[in-house]
Each structure stands twice: as C-alpha cells, then as structure tokens.
Amino acid sequence: MFYTEDKSVFDPRFREKISADATPPGNVADRLYDEMAASVYASNWDNDPVAYDIKLQFEYVTKPRTIQTTINHAKLTPGGVIYVDLTNELLPAVVTEDEEFLLKNNWQQLAQHFPQWFQTFVRKNTFQFDMYDKTMTLKRHHALREAVETINSAGQPVVALGNVYTNRVYDHISNTVVENLSFYNEKIPFLKVDRTGQLDELINYNYIKNQIDGFYRICQSPKMSPGWTWVNVEEDCYADPQHIWGPHPIHLHMESRKAIARKLEAAFG
C-alpha cells in the first residue's frame, strides 16, 4: 500500500538540502519507507512537534517532493515568487555513492524513533559541511549550480534569504540580546573546530564564520544566482535558547523571525 499525506491541501515547499536534490532516493530510502510510512503518515504531526520532526526527517530521506515540484507550482500561481533559503546547505548530510540526504540538527533527539539499522547507517555516513573532500565539494557546487538553473527555468522572480546563522542569543532573564561565541561554536559541529580547549572561542568562531560567509559569498555572486533578490537579515538575527526545536544558531527568536518576515514581505512586493 502507498501511504501519503492528505492531498486536499497541497504543500509545494521543498524543505530538503538543495544540493541533495540531484541524488534520487535509493535502497535505504525504499527500506525506510516500507518500514515507517504507515506510522509516519498515521501520526497526528499537525499538533505534535516531535511527530512533525520525525516526518520531516523521514521525508528528507524518501524525498516525496523535489525542486521541480515547487517550480511547477510556481508556474501555475499568478504572480508567484520562488523563495530560496540555503540554510540547510550548512547542516550535516548523510552521503554515500548512491544516496544523499539532509540530517536534521536535532537528529540525536529523533534517532530513537527510527530503526536501529538506519541509526547505524546514519552514524557511519554523516558528513559535516567542512568534512567534504575536494571531489565532494565540487559535486556539491555542481549540484547547486544545476538547482539554480532549474529554478531559473521557471521564469519566476526569485527572492533568496541571506545568512541567518548568528552568534547572538536572547537572554530571557535580562531581556537582552547578547553575543555568545561558545553557544555558537558548540552548536555548529564543524570538523576542524578545535575541541581540546587549547584554542580560544574566538579562533573557533572565526573559523566557522569564515566557512559560512564564504559559502554565501559564492551563492550570492551574480554568476551563481543571476537576477535573484537577496535579503540581508544578519542584523535581525538572534537565537532563542528556549526554542521549541532546541537551541541552535538558526533557531531564531520569534521577534527576530518577525523582523525577517517584514523584509521578505517587502522583497516579495
């Protein structure tokens, strides 16, 4: 039996890793689908954040939607604007010769809900953003380029969100926004960040920030994203340590998200 979401409300969003869209689901995805689809789509994930996250991770692997799905929807929507957020590109990915998919940043909390064999598979094949060798990096860059060409083929306006990774955190006690480098370093587990404590937090932070800034510089160049409207929101970003999905530099405070939404609305025109 084929299990699926309620199609009465079509969801056109592509929420995976854009560079991973070039790799179709493989045997691991098929096996996971066979074992979990019934329970995933029977869950009341509309009102259960954990069930919803399980569904997202499940669909990151099984890939029921593609970038082309979003594009086709945009073509049918009068005045449609394609919205691009590359935040997920910086998150860990599970990569093999045959499969590639995004790993949610709260995977450690979700893992117990997945089969043991899948947990082992993830543990053996997870790559952080800066773990890629030259071949993998070139493949990722090529996949992004192909995705951009696919997006532009729609002939629709494109609005893209800039970097939202932030070292600023809302402090609920003092009702202020503060810089917290150790929080930032701990939650972005890049491979080459020093974990011995021998290097200071600033060195670690600068390494991570340079990696992320460099990625966005490439993506924001006219050659990489021609004609796109990029919305710079770094000054509006600060994380919420009490976020429903847990503390992370991209889990922003509600007021921060409201400020970003206002800029996006203006860009959408």
Q: What is the pLDDT of residues 44-66, one digit of tens each?
A: 877 888 899 999 999 999 999 88
Q: Is the distance from CB of 168 to CB of 179 less than 8 angstroms? A: yes
pLDDT tens, the chain, 269 aa long: 333 444 334 567 888 899 999 899 999 999 999 999 999 998 887 788 889 999 999 999 999 988 888 788 777 677 778 899 999 999 999 999 999 999 998 899 999 999 999 999 999 999 999 999 999 999 999 999 999 998 888 888 999 999 999 999 999 999 999 999 989 988 887 877 766 666 678 888 999 999 999 999 999 999 899 999 999 999 999 999 999 888 999 999 999 999 999 999 999 87
In the prediction, which pLDDT does 8 show?
38
Domain boundaries defined on the chain:
157-269
Distances (CA, A) of 161 to 72, 126, 176, 220: 21, 26, 25, 10
Question: pTM for this one?
Answer: 0.86
**Centroid of chain to Cα 264:** 18
Q: What sign does the CA torsion over 137, 91, 230, 208 have?
A: negative
Backbone angles phi, psi at 245, to 5 degrees: -100, 10
Q: What sign does the CA torsion over 20, 189, 136, 33 have?
A: negative
In the prediction, which pLDDT does 3 show?
39
User: In sequence order, which residues have a C-beta less than 8 Å from that of residue 63 and are 6 or more positions away?
Assistant: 16, 21, 24, 25, 29, 101
Q: Is the distance from CB of 194 to CB of 204 less than 8 angstroms? A: yes
Euclidean distance between CA atoms 117 and 115, whole angstroms: 6
- DSSP element (H, E) containing 207: helix 201-220
Q: Would you mind telling me the total number of residues written for the chain in this entry?
A: 269
